[in-house]
C-alpha cells in the first residue's frame, strides 16, 4: 500500500510538472483577444487585434481581456481535472475528493 502511495505521488509530481509547462490560449471576441497562460495560471502572452483599440470604447476591450483570461483559466482547470482523473481513476475515490491532501 505504501509503495502504491509513493508511486502515485511520483506520478502526480510528474503530471504537475508537465501541466506547469503546458500553454493554454484563451480567446474572446471571436479570437480578437487571446491570452496564453501556463499550467500555473501565469499569463505569458496577450494578443489584441488592433481593430479593438478605440480609446473612446475601452470598456469593450477590458471586458474581452477578462473573458479571454477566464477562458484560459477554465481550459486549464479542465485539463488538470482530466489529467487528475486519469491518474486517480483506478483508486475508487469519492467524487470531489481532492489530491494532494
For residue range 28-76, list pLDDT tens digits in order: 999 999 999 988 888 999 999 999 898 898 999 999 999 999 999 999 8
ω into residue 15 within 30 of 0, thus cis?
A: no
CA distances from 90 to 24, 28, 37 (A): 27, 37, 30
Distance CA 72, CA 20 (A): 14
**Residue 47 is assigned to a structural domain of this protein:** yes
pTM of the model: 0.70
The most distant pair of C-alpha atoms in the chain lies apart, rounded to whole Å, by 63
pLDDT in tens, 67-93: 999 999 999 888 888 877 777 665 555
CATH number of the domain bearing residue 52: 3.30.1310.10
C-alpha cell at 91: 483508486
Q: Which of 31, 21, 37 has its CA nearest to residue 72?
A: 37
**Residue 62 is assigned to a structural domain of this protein:** yes
**Residue 2 is assigned to a structural domain of this protein:** no
C-alpha cell at 17: 510538472
Q: CB–CB of 52/64 below 8 Å?
A: yes
Q: Which domain holds residue 33?
A: 23-77
**Residue 70 is assigned to a structural domain of this protein:** yes
Tell me how many domains the chain contains: 1
Amino acid at each position: 500500500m505504501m509503495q502504491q502511495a509513493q508511486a502515485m505521488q511520483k506520478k502526480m509530481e510528474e503530471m504537475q510538472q508537465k501541466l506547469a509547462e503546458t500553454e493554454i490560449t484563451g480567446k474572446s471576441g471571436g479570437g480578437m483577444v487571446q491570452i496564453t497562460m501556463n499550467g500555473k495560471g501565469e499569463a505569458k502572452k496577450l494578443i489584441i487585434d488592433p481593430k479593438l483599440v478605440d480609446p473612446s470604447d475601452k470598456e469593450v476591450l477590458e471586458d474581452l481581456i477578462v473573458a479571454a483570461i477566464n477562458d484560459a483559466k477554465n481550459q486549464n482547470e479542465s485539463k488538470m481535472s482530466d489529467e487528475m482523473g486519469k491518474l486517480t481513476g483506478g483508486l475508487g475515490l469519492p467524487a470531489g475528493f481532492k489530491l494532494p491532501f
